[in-house]
């Protein structure tokens, strides 16, 4: 439901033991590194999908010659994962695995002199900072902070580190618990008492500490004991905090609000903490939306960050702002650029900023030239770039597509041409026949052109008729781009014999801000007509079996499934909704991020004078249950606090009470996603068992 990139969702998974389709080892023996895979056919299966290595977090050495990155593998039998670190030359040569432990290594980064690789590990019992030689030798723990830390960064002069750790405020109600050591009840008196999948009992703070005095056991609180968090939960990481090049200041992202004020607002700012004086200043003061991810220019004279304009609108345009320390001026370099700007990276000469932007359902690399403010598109293709690192006269970038998990690529900034540096999953990909992917532009009911991906089954035969799925995207404002998902995987759907229709309906970025914003306050409106336009256009094809249509989606896509189930006019023969909103009145009071429902639904359902809100709640899917006439599978996780599990239960109960064939797949230990290996495979098996039952 919240707009987040697929690569960030993948990063939340945690990381890995290997997985075989057929075990040939004892259940408890660790397999570290690339797993051995045996395929029974050339088609994707859930077991094969969970066997792919998941590459993430590449970091380039200071001399631009070597990359360090992590790869996660899963062991399905043990229901565990393990993540190991690798180094490879930036020319794609000299690949080496440098860790072989049962403790996953995270957040690898180079020391400024390039002589060490820092990383995070639980080897000592809690998550702490470690470092080692670039070849993996001489592992050494460098922090021993009580309760562990969340992440760290070296200062450029390598004399200090900053780290983030949880702060646990004193319980204001502690006198009520006297003599009650076994009492489990928690007392709350304000909002945001739980967030996404966690009951809020602490907040993350930034600390700085001297690296030259041996083991670090305590640091200085950069946030001056204020009751606020940095980075922003639940998805913010160390990209929201950075050192100045002279090591004299720390820039960080913070939303200095709490309780109900925090729950209603997205207004975060960029703060600058000066180590010598202890002074903190707000360099984005007066800017009312999300301001995140500050990045200093190499010479320290400027700082760039991503900025949204409006408070409460989490899917506003991501602008590229630059602050000049000498002139004390802020400049929006994307004022005339009707796209988002993300993953900012300065050029070595301080003259340009590289960034990622979504355009027409692919994420590409762009360059901003500071002198004249011109923006140039560098890459083009059927893929998503997810990050970019300047490396002298070339670029290093991570890239994925619907047909390939993330790998690291060399990109020529002059031509945009790329070539792979890593080939983590090459052996497995070569054994699988992938689906053909096609782009179409389909006319909507208001005569707009809508981009739609069509994915065909492997070994597609146009003389045959295929059952077809309408895919409904979540977010709601998250592009149907060239993402590789380990759950909503189009190649997996196609391998099971389905054609997939995946439209970039109204309310998605990459097609201009007007297209993106239309959905707010119009749930059940034009975007639902867009879905029907897409599936109706495809049913005109001879190879689409219009009597065997299904409709699937998660989060806002789950809401879409529930709404379409009551408004599809006999089009679909089966539905699947994962973590979807079913009753919007319940949703308004059950969710934690109030800014979302206030913006997208228009406000509370009790405000009878608010026409936008009343239109939203009148289009709640539960109001159309009397029209349900097709089988439905409802899936939900108990730890999903964004859209709580009772939303799925309400939908399931309604279907059963109405005599509609229905199933409920309930995960007591999953959140808005399904992250555990065996749960993930159960999800896939249940998904296709349901579709095959009604569509084949």
Catalytic residue ranges: 555, 640, 672
Burial classification of residue 47, based on how many CB atoms lie within 10 Å of its CB (0-12 exposed, 13-18 middle, 19 or more buried): buried
Angle 406-426-10 (CA atoms, 0-180°, nearest 5)?
Answer: 25
CA neighbor of 406 nearest in space, from 382, 423, 394, 419: 423
Residues with Cβ within 8 Å of 195's Cβ and at least 6 positions away in sequence, in order, are 233, 234, 592, 593, 641
CA neighbor of 420 nearest in space, from 405, 439, 431: 405
Classify 75 as helix, strand or coil: strand
Cα–Cα distances in angstroms (integers) from residue 35 to residues 49, 77, 420, 584, 674, in the given order: 13, 13, 21, 45, 22
Q: Phi, psi (5° rounding) for residue 576?
A: -135, 125
d(CA 37, CA 51): 7
Locate 130 and state its tokens: 């470690």
Identify whether the C-beta of residue 541 lies closer than 8 Å to the C-beta of residue 516: no
d(CA 666, CA 685): 14
| Cβ atoms within 10 Å of 56's Cβ, excluding its own | 22
Q: Which residue has the tokens 């000469």?
A: 349
Burial classification of residue 583, based on how many CB atoms lie within 10 Å of its CB (0-12 exposed, 13-18 middle, 19 or more buried): buried
692: β partners:
none
Identify whether the C-beta of residue 19 lies closer than 8 Å to the C-beta of residue 30: no
């Amino acid at each position: 439901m919240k707009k987040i990139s697929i690569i960030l969702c993948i990063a939340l998974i945690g990381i890995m033991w290997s997985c075989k389709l057929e075990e040939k080892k004892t259940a408890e023996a660790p397999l570290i590194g690339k797993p051995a895979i045996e395929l029974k056919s050339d088609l994707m299966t859930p077991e094969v999908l969970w066997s792919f290595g998941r590459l993430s977090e590449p970091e380039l050495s200071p001399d631009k010659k070597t990359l360090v990155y992590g790869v996660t593998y899963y062991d399905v039998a043990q229901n565990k994962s393990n993540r190991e670190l690798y180094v490879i030359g930036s020319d794609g040569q000299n690949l080496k695995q440098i860790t072989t432990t049962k403790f996953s290594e995270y957040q690898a980064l180079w020391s400024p002199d390039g002589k060490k690789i820092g990383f995070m590990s639980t080897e000592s019992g809690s998550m702490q900072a470690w470092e080692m030689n670039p070849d993996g030798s001489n592992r050494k723990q460098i922090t021993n902070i009580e309760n562990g830390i969340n992440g760290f960064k070296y200062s450029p002069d390598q004399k200090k580190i900053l780290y983030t750790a949880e702060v646990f405020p004193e319980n204001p109600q502690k006198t009520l618990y006297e003599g009650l050591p076994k009492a489990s009840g928690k007392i709350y008196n304000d909002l945001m008492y739980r967030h996404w999948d966690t009951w809020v009992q602490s907040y993350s703070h930034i600390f700085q500490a001297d690296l030259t005095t041996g083991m670090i056991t305590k640091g200085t609180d950069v946030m001056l004991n204020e009751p606020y968090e940095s980075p922003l939960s639940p998805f913010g990481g160390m990209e929201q905090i950075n050192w100045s090049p002279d090591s004299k200041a720390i820039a960080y992202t913070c939303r200095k609000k709490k309780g109900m004020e925090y729950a209603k607002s997205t207004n975060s700012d960029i703060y600058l903490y000066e180590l010598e004086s202890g002074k903190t200043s707000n360099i984005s003061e007066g800017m009312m939306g999300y301001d995140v991810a500050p990045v200093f220019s190499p010479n320290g004279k400027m700082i760039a960050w991503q900025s949204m304009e409006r408070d409460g609108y989490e899917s506003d345009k991501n602008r590229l702002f630059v602050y000049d320390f000498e002139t004390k001026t802020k400049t929006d370099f994307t004022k005339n650029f009707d796209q988002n700007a993300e993953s900012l990276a300065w050029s070595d000469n301080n003259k340009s900023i590289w960034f990622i932007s979504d355009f027409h359902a692919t994420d590409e690399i762009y360059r901003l030239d500071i002198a004249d403010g011109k923006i140039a598109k560098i890459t083009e293709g059927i893929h998503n770039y997810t990050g970019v690192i300047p490396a002298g006269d070339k670029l290093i970038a991570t890239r994925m597509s619907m047909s390939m998990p993330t790998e690291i690529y060399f990109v020529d900034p002059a031509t945009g041409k790329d070539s792979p540096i890593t080939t983590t999953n090459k052996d497995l990909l070569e054994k699988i026949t992938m689906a053909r992917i096609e782009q179409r532009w389909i006319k909507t009911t208001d005569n707009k052109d809508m981009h739609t991906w069509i994915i065909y089954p492997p070994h597609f035969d146009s003389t045959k008729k295929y059952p077809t799925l309408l895919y409904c995207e979540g977010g709601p404002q998250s592009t149907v781009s060239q993402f590789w998902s380990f759950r909503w995987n189009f190649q997996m759907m196609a391998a099971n014999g389905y054609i997939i229709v995946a439209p970039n309906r109204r309310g998605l970025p990459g097609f201009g801000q007007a297209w993106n914003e239309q959905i707010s306050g119009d749930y059940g409106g034009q975007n639902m007509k867009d879905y029907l336009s897409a599936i109706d256009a495809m049913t005109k094809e001879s190879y689409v079996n219009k009597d065997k249509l299904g409709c699937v989606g998660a989060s806002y896509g789950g809401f879409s499934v529930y709404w379409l189930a009551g408004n599809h006019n006999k089009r679909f023969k089966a539905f699947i909704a994962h973590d979807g909103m079913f009753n919007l009145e319940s949703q308004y009071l059950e969710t934690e991020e109030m800014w979302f429902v206030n913006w997208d639904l228009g406000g509370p359902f009790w405000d009878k004078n608010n026409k936008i809100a009343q239109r939203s709640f009148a289009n709640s899917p539960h109001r159309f249950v009397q029209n349900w006439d097709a089988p439905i599978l409802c899936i939900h996780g108990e730890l999903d606090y964004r859209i709580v599990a009772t939303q799925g239960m309400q939908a399931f109960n309604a279907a059963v009470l109405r005599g509609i064939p229905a199933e409920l797949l309930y995960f007591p230990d999953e959140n808005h996603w399904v992250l555990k290996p065996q749960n993930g495979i159960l999800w896939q098996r249940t998904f296709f068992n349901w579709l095959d039952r009604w569509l084949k």
